[in-house]
Structure 1
Amino acid sequence: MATHPKPWAFLDDDDDASSAAAPSSFADDTSARSAAPRLRSRVLKFVTSFQSRLNLDPRWSALPIGLIAIWICIATAVAPSDLGLARWNGFVVTLFAAAAMTILLIGRSAAGDGRDGSREAMRQALAQRLGIAPGGDAESLWTSIEAHATNIEQRVNELVQEQRRLQLEASLHSAQRRNLEAILHGMAEPLLVVDRFERIVFVNQVAAELLEITTNDAIRQPLDQVVSNAKLIDVVRQACQADARAARRRVELDFGDRAFALSMAPLPDSATADGTSAQSSAHGLVVLFRDVTCDRLAAKAKSEFVAHVSHELRTPLSSIRAYTEMLVDGEATDEKTRAEYYGIIQTSADRLGRLIDNMLNISRIEAGTVRINKEPVAVSIIVKEVADSLKPQAEEKNIALLADLAPVVDRVMADRDLLYQAVLNLASNAIKYTPEGGEVTVRMITLEEQNALRIEVSDTGVGIPAEDLPHMFEKFYRVEANKHMAKGTGLGLNLVKNIVEVVHEGKVSLRSEVGKGSTFAITLNKVT
C-alpha cells in the first residue's frame, strides 16, 4: 500500500521519527540508543536555560573571530619572527576559536529547540481547534484538515455565487430605476412625490418647471423651503397628516393663469394592499397634476353659451307669446291691428328660426357632422344672388347696394349653399349697421399671384372700435356701442368663420374704422 506524504512532518521530532522507523530486530539496542537522546536532552535543557538567562544570540560568535584577527595583526607587527611569541599566539587563537564555536552551537541549539516548541504549540492549537486529542493519529489530523479545507472552499464558492447574484440583482434594479425615472420624466403631466416628513422624494421635469424649482436641488429638501405656492404646501400637509383613506382626494389650484386638478394618494409602502391604513399616522404622498385650464374655459364658454341662447330664445318667444295672447283675448279689434300683430309674430318666428339654424350649423361644423357637397362654383353668380335677395332690404333704408363682379370663369371648390350663407351674413350685417343713405359694396378681386379669389363686403357704416375687433368672430359677441342699431344673435360672424376656415380652408379678415365703415373679406383658392 502506497504511503502518503506527511505534510505534518515538519511538526514531528527527527529523533521520534527515526526511533519509530527502527526495525524490531534491534530491540536489544533500544536502551543503549535511548540513553544518548536523554543525555542530549539534558545537555540541551542546561544550555537552553543558560542561553535564556544570558539571552545569547549566535551572532555573538563574530566577536571572538574579530578578536582573533586583531590579535594576529598586532602579534605580526610587534614580533613577527619570535618563536615563543608565535606559540603563545597559536594558543590564544585556538582559545578564541573555541569560544566562537561554543557560542555558535549554543545559539543554534537553543533556537532550534525554540522552533520545536513553537511547532508543538501550533500543532496542539490546531488539534484543539479541529476537535482532535493531542497526540492522536496523524492521519486523522490530516483528514480533518482536508475536510475543513473542503468546507471552507465550498463556503467561499457559495459566497462568491451569492455575491454575483446580488450584483446582478443590483444592476437589474438600477436599470429598472433608470427606466422608471425616464418614463416619469417623460410624462406630460407634472408629478410630485413627498415622504412623511414632507420632503421631496421625486419631481419630474414638468413639475419642476411648473413649481419653478430645480430637480436636483429639490430632492430631499422640505417642500415649504423650495416651493413658494402656499396653497399647495397646505394641501400637501393636510393630506400627509390625514389617514390613508382621507389622503385620497382631488383639489383644484391655480398656478398663474393656469388651473390644475391635483390627484393625491398615499405612498404604497405606508398603506395596506387595499390602499387603506390601519393607523392614522403621517405618510408620504404622490401628487399628480392635470391641466384643466381648457376644461375650465370650455365649461365657462358652455355656461355663457347656454345663457346667451336662453336670452336670445326668450326674446322672440316672449314677443310671439305676448302678441298671440292679445289676439286670443280680442284686443286687436280691427284688421290693421291684427295685421300688425301678425307681422310681429312672423318676424319673431323668423328670428327664432335663424337662431336655431345658426346654432345647428355651427355645432355641426365644429363636430364635423355637417354634410358638405363641394364642387366648382362660380363665385360671381353667388354674389349676384346675394345682392338680388338683399336689394329690397337696402332700398328700405335708402342704401346703395353695389356688386362689382369678376368674370364667371373664376371658380372655387366650395359647397354652394354654405358659401351663399357666408356671403349673405356679411352683406346683411353691412346693411344693418349702415345708416340711411349709406353705401354697401360687394366686390370680387382676383389674386393671380396667390391663385386665389377674394370677396370683399364694404360699408360706410358706424365702424367697429379697435378694442372689439379681436372678439368679432366669437359666439354671441356683439359690439356694445352698436346694439341699438339692429337686433342680432351674435352667431352670424362665427358661422361665417366656421364656413370659410373650417369647411373651405380659406381665410376671413376684417378691417374697420369708427365713423368710416368696415370691410370684411373672404379669401378662397381658385380652381385651376
Structure 2
Amino acid sequence: MPDSQSTAAVASGEGASSASETTASSPNSNASGRLLVTTRIGILFCVTALCALLCGVAASSLPQLRSFQSIMWVATVAVCSLSGLMSMRSVRTLRTIETELLHSGGQPERWRTVRPIIGQEKITEAWNELLREAESGCTASDERVPASLDQEAITLARAMRGLPAAWVITDLDGRLLFISPPACSLFSLTEDANHIGRDLLDLLGLRAGDDSVIAKRQRLLSNVRMIQERHQVTMAGERVHLRIARSRLDGRSGDGEGMAWILTDVTQQELATKSRDQFLLTATHELRTPLTNLQAYAEALEAEDQLEIDQQKEFCNVIVSEAHRLGRLVDQLLTVGQMEAGSMVANRHELELLPMVEYAADQMKAQAEQKHQRLVTDFAAKLPTVFGDRDKLQAALVNLVGNAVKYTPTAGEIIVRCGVQDDWVRIDVQDNGPGIETEEQDKVFDKFFRGSNAANSELRGNGLGLAFAREVARMHGGEVELESEVGRGSTFMMRLPIGGHSRSGI
C-alpha cells in the first residue's frame, strides 16, 4: 500500500510537470521565471536550424568564393554539434528521471530504491523534494496503519461491550470465545470472571433432552449461514422465553471461524400476547352472555301478550341488569385502551365518598345473595370529602367489591369498611375466599393477569378490574394495597388523600 501511494504521488507529480510543460507558452508561464527544459531545447533546435539555414544560403550565394563556402559549412556543423551538446546536457536530468521511473515501473516495491539527483536546477530540486515527500509519506503510512487498526479494534470492542444486547461469540461447537455483559446478566454469570470455553448450549439447556431439543441443537450448529429460533429455558427457577439469532462468521481465508449469537429475552412479550389472547377470549364470552340474555328476554316480552305485570317487571329488570353489565364491560375495554396509551384523565370535583361506597355495596348485594354470601358494611358515621372523578372512583369501588363477591365461595362473607386513617380516607374490602399466592400478589394489579386460583376455577374474568382500580387510585394521589393469605382470604385497601392532593397534578 505505501509503495502504491508513492508511485501514485510520483505519477501525479510527473503528470503535473507534463501539464505545466504543455501549457507553458512563454517564459512568464514558469513560476520561477525560467523557461522549462523542454522549452529551452525546442528554442535551441529552432536557433540551430535557423543558423544552419542562413549558413547554407550564404554559402550558396557566393559560389565563386570556395573558402567562404567552406567556412559556412564548417560553421553549420559547429552550430549543430554545439546545439547537440547543449541539448544532451539539458536533457541529462530528464534522462535520469526517466531511467529511475522505468526502473521502478510496474514494481511498486522498487520505488524505495529510487535515487535523488545531484544538481542545482529547479527540476532537480523539485524531483528530490518529491522523493523526500514520498519517503516521509511511506514512513508515516507504515507507522499509522497498525496504530489505526489497533484504535479501530479498541473502539469496536468498546462499542460492542456497550451494546444493550446479549451477544455471544463461540466456536463452531458452541464454546464461548466472547460474551457481553448483558449476556452474563442473562445467564447470572459474573462479568469479571473468565468464561472462555464454557458451553453456550449447556447454558441454554440444549445439550441433553428429547428429540425436539436434539433437532434444535443440530439446527443451531449446522452450516446454515443464519438461523432464528424460539427457545424456553429455566433460569434461576423462572421460565424464560428467548429469541435466538445465530449467524456464522465467514471471514477471509485464514481468519478464525465461529458463530455470533444474539439472545433476546421475550418473556414479557410472550406473556403479554398470551394474556391478550385470553382477554379477547374472555371478553368475547362476556359480551356474548349479556347480549344473549338481552335478546332472549326482549323476544319473550315481544312474543308473550299475556304476561303478568310481575313477570314483565322481572324481565325488564333482567334486561336493565344485563345492559348495565354490558356497559361496564365496554367501559373496561375503553379504559384499557386509555391505560395502554397513558391518556386516562380525571374530571375532578369535591365528592362525598360515603354514598359512593354504599352504592358499590348495594350494586353487588344481589349477586352476593345469589351465592348466599353475607355482605357486611362497617362505615364511619361521617367521612371527609375527597377531590376526584366520581365516575372513575365509583367504577373502581364497584370493581373491588365485585372482585370479592366473585372469588368468595358460596356462604362466604365479605366485609366493606370505610374510615379515616391519619390524612387518608381508607376503604377496606375483606373476603374469606381462597387467597392469593405470595409470589402472585405483586402481579394481581397487572393488566390481564389472573392468579392461579382464579385461572383454575370456573369463574371467568378479564384481569382488568384490579389494574383499573389501582390506576384510578394513583391518579387521585392514593394507592390500592393487598394483604392475603392462602386459605384465609384477602383484603384490598384503597387509600385516598383527604382534600384530594394528586401526585400526577392532573
Partner of 1:463: 433
Q: Normalized per residue, which structure has more helix? A: 1
**Residues 365, 334 of structure 1: alpha-carbon distance in 2 compared, 3 angstrom cutoff:** same
Deviations, residues 44-78 of structure 1 (Å, cap 9, x unaligned): xxxxxxxxxxxxxxxxxxxxxxxxxxxxxxxxxxx
| Matching residue of 1:168 | 144
Matched residue, 1:442: 417
Cα deviation for residue 304 of structure 1 reads 1.3
- Give the whole-Å Cα distance in 2 for the aligned partners of 1:381 and 1:427: 14
- Measure, in 1, the Cα distance between the counterparts of 2:463 and 2:201: 49
Matching residue of 1:521: 493
Equivalence for 2:465: 492
Q: How does 1:287-302 map to 2 (within 5 A)?
A: 287-302=261-276
Q: Distance in 2 between matches of 1:483 and 1:195?
A: 50
Q: Mean Cα displacement is larger for which, 473-482 or 436-445? A: 473-482
- Give the structure 2 partner of residue 191 of structure 1: 167
SS across alignment from 1:373: coil
Partner SS for 1:191: strand
Moved more, 171-180 or 517-526: 517-526
In structure 2, the partner of 1:119 is none
2:230 maps to 1:252: yes
Report the counterpart of residue 355 of structure 1 in structure 2. Answer: 329
- Change over 3 Å in CA distance of 1:444–1:435 after alignment to 2: farther
Given the two structures, how large is their TM-score scaled by the length of structure 2? 0.55
The letter for the 2-side match of 1:497 is R
Q: CA RMSD in A?
A: 4.9
Structure 1: unaligned runs, 5 residues or longer: 1-143, 272-281
Q: Deviation of residue 185 (structure 1)?
A: 0.9
Shift of 1:194: 4.4
Distance across 2 between alignment mates of 1:510 and 1:483: 21
SS in 1 for 2:221: helix
1:63 matched to which residue of 2? none
Question: Is 2:379 the partner of 1:404?
Answer: yes
Change in CA separation of 1:254 and 1:166 when aligned onto 2, cut-off 3 Å: farther
* Match status 1:312 vs 2:286: yes
Q: 1:264 and 2:246 equivalent?
A: yes
Given the alignment of the two structures, is residue 453 of structure 1 paired with residue 425 of structure 2, yes or no? yes
Q: Which amino acid aligns with 1:452?
A: W
Aligned partner letter, 1:203? I
| Preserved CA contact (<8 Å) 1:412 1:525 | yes
8 Å contact kept, 1:190–1:290: yes
Aligned length: 358
- What TM-score comes out, normalization by structure 1 length? 0.53
Q: Equivalents in 2 of 1:464, 1:169: separation in Å?
A: 72
- The amino acid that maps onto 2:472 is I
**What is the letter of the counterpart of residue 443 of structure 1?**
C
Letter of the 2:469 partner, please give it. Answer: V
Matched position secondary structure for 1:443: strand
Distance 2:425 2:136 in 1: 83
| Cα distance change of structure 1 residues 362 and 236 upon mapping to structure 2, 3 Å threshold | closer
Offset, 1:289: 2.0
Q: How far, CA to CA, are the matches of 1:216 and 1:156 in structure 2?
A: 52
CA–CA distance in 2 between the matches of 1:345 and 1:167? 89
**Is the Cα contact below 8 Å between 1:258 and 1:291 reproduced in 2?**
yes
Cα drift, residue 378 of structure 1? 4.6
What SS does the corresponding residue of 1:193 show, helix, strand or coil?
Answer: strand
**Structure 2: which 5+ residue stretches go unaligned?**
1-114, 119-126, 208-212, 502-506
Q: Which amino acid aligns with 1:184?
A: M
1:179 corresponds to: 155
Q: 1:202-281 alignment to 2 at 5 Å?
A: 202-210=178-186, 217=194, 229-230=206-207, 234-238=218-222, 241-242=223-224, 247-256=225-234, 257-267=239-249, 269=251
